[in-house]
Amino acid sequence: MAVESLETEMDTAVRVVHLASSLCVKVQDKLRLPSSTNGAHVKSKDDDSPVTVADWGVQAIVSWVLAEVFGGQNLSIVAEEDTEALSKADSLGLLGAVSNAVNEALSEAPKYGLPKPDKPLGSTEILKAIGRCSSVGGPKGRHWVLDPVDGTLGFVRGDQYAVALALIENGKLLLGVLGCPNYPVKKECLSNGCNQTVAKSVPGDVSKGCVMYAKRGSGQAWMQPLIAGGIPESATLLKVSSVNDPVLATVCEPVERANSNHLFTAGLANSMGVRKQPMRVYSMVKYAAIARGDAEVFMKFAQSSYKEKIWDHAAGVVIVEEAGGVVTDAGGRNLDFSKGVYLEGLDRGIIACSGQVLHEKIIGAVYASWESSSL
């Protein structure tokens, strides 16, 4: 496939994910303070999932920066959050906290090679930036796809989460960037496999994280360390694991049983000969783990009533594929980013693998287990 230049798009996306990740680090630090000072930072959505100052804050700065760089007129951003809860009369404190986080981050933007506003953004401008991200994507045109904080549950628990930004054009992925502020460049720096970095964290310390990025068709995926107050000069090339024996493979999956059927994936893993315990990790850090060879398989089988959203996968898929991996649904088909907000037509679940050999074994195990369960 011909590689489009996309220089400004990639450069801006990487820079803004670094900046957004630094905002998240600061907000997550605040969440560790005694409850009297952090109450304003976490809210419950209608489906009981959490949303925080960081989710809205990241959405606001990414939207503002993209509009500055590419012009707001024809900009299409498909993103998770909206302004409803923030616009309520009793949400002034929350909006104030989002405002502070956004303006603090944007004041640092020039250090990241990004524009900053002439004066701090007011509440109206912040709500406008968040609200601008209400595009529904689709099969035509260019759409940015943003999950401002993926794994918000992990985020509020002081654990793994990711900032995920991707670009699709005519339904195809062009690029993806993943900020993983609690996923150190070297996995040995984690205190407990891929989970729980809390023990080693120092407030305000961004050096325990990384940012990954890849351009479709380049055959390359890159990783940079997250550093304080700017962008590092170097990046390292990522490569998926070469392990293709299930006995040696590490399988990762969502932490919450409600998000993926642990029993079913344990059966699949067992039937193909996997021996290691699953690595349960919040967020798209699972894709990051596959891309850089810390794990070989990521499986997610949500309840059949749940529809996967494009922002939960877009950035991770392109990074894993360009690092040499394979991502499909459980029927072996590519994920379809052309149908709007949802991954319409997804066959049962998502399977990301370091290579073809393991992938074929899992698809085979899914068929076998599905057939035997309907006997």
Ligand X SMILES: Nc1ncnc2c1ncn2[C@@H]1O[C@H](COP(=O)(O)OS(=O)(=O)O)[C@@H](OP(=O)(O)O)[C@H]1O
Binding site listing for Mg(2+): 80, 147, 150, 312
The answer to whether residues 224 and 206 touch, using CB atoms and an 8 Å cutoff, is no
Beta-carbon contacts of residue 161 (< 8 Å; ≥ 6 apart): 24, 28, 149, 150, 151, 152, 154, 155, 180, 181, 182, 282, 283, 285
Q: What does the DSSP 8-state code read for residue 263?
A: H
**312 touching Mg ion, by CB under 5 A:** yes
309 touching ligand X, by CB under 6 A: yes
Q: Which residues pair with 195 in a beta bridge?
A: 192
Q: Of 259 and 338, which has the nearer Cβ to ligand X?
A: 259
Query: Does residue 150 interact with ligand X by CB under 6 A?
Result: yes
Among 84, 245, 256, 347, binds ligand X (CB under 6 A): 256
Position 261 contacts ligand X (CB under 6 A): no
Rounded to whole angstroms, the Cα distance separating 208 from 181 reads 7
What x/- string results for residues 77 through 96 when contact with Mg ion is judged by CB under 5 A? ---x----------------
Beta-carbon contacts of 195 under 8 Å, excluding residues fewer than 6 positions away, are 159, 160, 279, 280, 281
Q: Is 293 in the site for ligand X (CB under 6 A)?
A: no
Q: Does 263 bind ligand X (CB under 6 A)?
A: no
Nearer to ligand X, 121 or 211 (CB): 211
Distance between CA atoms of residues 363 and 268, nearest Å: 9
Contact flag: residue 151 with ligand X (CB under 6 A) = yes
47 is catalytic: no
Site string for Mg ion, 140-159 (x = CB under 5 A): -------x-xx-x-------
Question: What region, left, alpha or beta, does residue 273 occupy, with left being phi > 0 and alpha being psi -120 to 50 degrees?
Answer: left
Scanning 92-100, 238-246, 303-311, 318-326 for contacts with ligand X by CB under 6 A, the matching segment is 303-311
Q: Which of these is catalytic: 52, 55, 265, 329? A: 55
* 67 phi/psi in degrees, rounded to 5: -65, -40
Please give the distance of CA 56 from its chain centroid, rounded to a whole number.
Answer: 15
The catalytic site residues sit at: 55, 152
In the complex, the residues that contact ligand X under the rule CB under 6 A are 49, 80, 147, 150-154, 254-256, 258-259, 282-283, 302-303, 306, 309, 312
In the complex, the residues that contact Mg ion under the rule CB under 5 A are 49, 80, 147, 149-150, 152, 312
